[in-house]
């Protein structure tokens, strides 16, 4: 157990991580951050922040382990199934109706962790549009700040436990079954993956995508402090097309969003970009980027 630590020692640790590794962890909620640090220190049998700072200085690779502990990557296919059903039956048809025939449908899965959310939306779009229209019209950008998680997302290979949320019919249609290292693995269909662009992107720093019809950012905002949440919501606002939709996690709300989104379904946490802002509201939400940085979108894509 960590002894009662001074705030300054913790701040010194945060400041070292920021200056030496470019990780600004001050954007996350302080209480959960402290819990995650303590968890990692406990694993290393270190019981105060000063010793942990020394350890970081002597073992620079430790910052990656710490980040893995702080950035909780839990995800699942069709997590909160009712909300995905609502998206499939109400929102996606509306997006399609508002398009010209052949016009692209642009989706951004932000904070995608190991990819389950991205492949869930890909499967739904392929089911609704049919695979040919999916291949012609869909573009899915999928991003996370965590490169290890992105690597897993790009691999698209899941264990028997991880695919538990997927109906058998969809499983056999969109996954290939392999036997590797003494276990069954389910590999996402190559065709679905072709329309997905993976990239490292930090929601608190990097320029947002643009002209997005559907922005899925579930169970990510919940980790940010309220000031950061408000700033990230402004970026999400600018990423969306007029009348674009934002899909949040079931425990997230938009209290500080300055009415820049209107609810479509509070229950399912689906919102639409508000397009009748007054000039005053526009000025209020102009991004006040602390550090403007171009999106680090790694353009590696399977679409070749």
Ligand X SMILES: C[S@@+](CC[C@H](N)C(=O)[O-])C[C@H]1O[C@@H](n2cnc3c(N)ncnc32)[C@H](O)[C@@H]1O
Is residue 113 at the binding interface for ligand X, with CB under 6 A as the rule? yes
Beta strands per DSSP E along the chain: 105-110, 138-144, 157-159, 175-180, 183-188, 196-200, 212-217, 240-248, 261-265, 270-273
Residue 57 beta carbon to ligand X: minimum distance, rounded to whole angstroms: 24
Q: Which is nearer to ligand X, 53 or 217 (CB)?
A: 217
Residue 208 in the binding site for ligand X (CB under 6 A): no
Q: Which helix (H) or strand (E) holds 93?
A: helix 92-97
Q: Does 91 bind ligand X (CB under 6 A)?
A: no
Cβ-contact 226, 26 below 8 angstroms: no
Residue 71 binding ligand X, by CB under 6 A: yes
Q: What is the smallest separation between the CB atom of 212 and ligand X, expressed in angstroms?
A: 15
Q: CB under 6 A: which stretch of 187-195, 197-205, 255-263, 288-296 binds ligand X?
A: 197-205
By CB under 6 A, which span of 109-117, 125-133, 163-171, 260-268 interacts with ligand X?
A: 109-117
User: What is the rounded distance in angstroms from the CA atom of residue 115 to the CA atom of residue 135?
Assistant: 19
Sequence-separated contacts (24+) of 64-68 with Cβ below 8 Å: 65/40, 66/17, 66/37, 66/40, 67/23, 67/146, 68/146, 68/148
| Binding positions for ligand X, 130-169, rule CB under 6 A | 144-146, 149
Contact status, residue 27 vs residue 225, Cβ threshold 8 Å: yes
219 scored as a contact of ligand X (CB under 6 A): yes
| Comparison of 137 and 145: residue with beta carbon closer to ligand X | 145
Q: Please identify, among the stretches 106-114, 175-183, 189-197, 292-300, the one whose residues bind ligand X according to the rule CB under 6 A.
A: 106-114
- Give the whole-angstrom CA distance, residue 234 versus residue 214: 15
Check residue 117 for interaction with ligand X (CB under 6 A): yes
User: Max alpha carbon distance in the chain (Å)?
Assistant: 63
| Least distance to ligand X, CB of residue 4, Å | 28
Q: What string of DSSP letters covers 293-304?
A: B-------BS--
Residue in 73, 253, 258, 274 binding ligand X, rule: CB under 6 A:
73
**Binding test (CB under 6 A) with ligand X, winner from 74, 101, 278, 280:** 74
212 CB-near residues (< 8 Å, 6+ apart): 106, 107, 108, 141, 239, 240, 241, 244
In angstroms, what is the minimal distance from the CB of 270 to ligand X? Answer: 14
Q: How many residues bind ligand X (CB under 6 A)?
A: 24
Q: Find the shortest distance in angstroms from Cβ 37 to ligand X.
A: 15
* Residue window 248-267: x/- pattern of binding to ligand X, with contact defined by CB under 6 A: -x------------------
12 φ, ψ to 5°? Answer: -60, -40
SS3 72: coil
Alpha carbon distance 287, 17 (integer Å): 25
Should residue 225 be labelled a site residue for ligand X when binding is judged by CB under 6 A? no
Q: Considering only CA atoms, which of 109, 205, 186 is closest in space to residue 149?
A: 109
CB of 109 to ligand X, least distance (A): 7
Positions that interact with ligand X (CB under 6 A): 71-76, 79, 111-113, 116-117, 144-146, 149, 202-204, 218-220, 223, 249
């Amino acid at each position: 157990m960590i002894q009662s630590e001074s705030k300054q020692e913790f701040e010194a640790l945060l400041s070292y991580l920021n200056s030496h590794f470019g990780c600004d962890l001050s954007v996350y909620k302080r209480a959960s951050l402290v819990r995650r640090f303590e968890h990692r220190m406990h694993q290393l049998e270190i019981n105060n922040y000063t010793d942990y700072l020394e350890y970081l200085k002597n073992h620079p690779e430790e910052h990656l382990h710490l980040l893995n502990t702080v950035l909780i990557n839990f995800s699942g296919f069709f997590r909160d199934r009712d909300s995905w059903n609502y998206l499939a039956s109400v929102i996606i048809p509306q997006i399609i109706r508002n398009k010209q025939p052949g016009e692209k449908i642009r989706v951004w899965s932000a904070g995608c962790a190991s990819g389950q959310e991205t492949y869930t939306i890909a499967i739904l779009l392929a089911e609704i549009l049919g695979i040919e229209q999916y291949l012609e019209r869909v573009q899915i950008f999928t991003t996370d700040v965590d490169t290890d998680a992105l690597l897993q997302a790009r691999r698209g290979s899941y264990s028997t436990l991880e695919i538990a949320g997927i109906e058998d019919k969809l499983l056999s249609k969109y996954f290939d079954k392999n036997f590797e290292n003494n276990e069954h693995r389910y590999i996402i269909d190559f065709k679905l993956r072709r329309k997905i662009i993976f990239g490292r992107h930090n929601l608190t720093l990097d320029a947002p995508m643009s002209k997005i019809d559907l922005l899925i950012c579930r169970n990510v905002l919940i980790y940010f402090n309220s000031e950061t949440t408000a700033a990230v919501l402004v970026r999400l606002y600018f990423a969306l097309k007029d009348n674009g939709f934002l899909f949040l996690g079931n425990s997230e709300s938009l209290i500080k969003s300055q009415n820049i989104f209107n609810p479509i379904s509070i229950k399912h946490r689906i919102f639409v970009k508000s397009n009748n802002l007054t000039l005053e509201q526009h000025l209020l939400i102009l991004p006040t980027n602390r550090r403007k940085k171009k999106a680090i979108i790694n353009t590696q894509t399977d679409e070749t």
